[in-house]
Amino acid sequence: MSDTGGELSGADRAVLELAFEDGLGAGQMRNRIRQLGMSEIGYYQRLNVLLETEKALAAYPIQVRYLRSLREGRSRVILGVNG
C-alpha cells in the first residue's frame, strides 16, 4: 500500500470504517473481518499501516486521531511508560 496521491481504496475505507464501528462483540468483529476477506492479524496489520497515512487522516481526521491515541495508550501500558 502506498501513500502517494489519490484517495483511499474501497478496501482501505472498509478496514477503517470497521475500526470505527462501536458495539461490535468479538465474534461479530471476527465475522466482519472475514467478510473483508482478511485474517484477523492481516486486518490489524493493515489498520496500523493505514493509521499512519495522510490519506486516512484526511478522510477521517477525528476517528484516525482517536485510534492513534488509543494505540499509543496501549503501547505505554505494554512498555510500562508513565504519563
Question: pLDDT tens digit string along 29-81?
Answer: 999 999 999 999 999 999 999 999 999 999 999 999 999 999 887 655 566 66
With CA atoms as reference, report the closest residue to 53 among 82, 25, 22, 15: 15
With CA atoms as reference, report the closest residue to 42 among 52, 30, 59: 30
Total count of residues recorded for the chain: 83
Note the pTM of the prediction, 2 decimals.
Answer: 0.79
pLDDT band at residue 22 using 50, 70 and 90 as cut-offs: confident
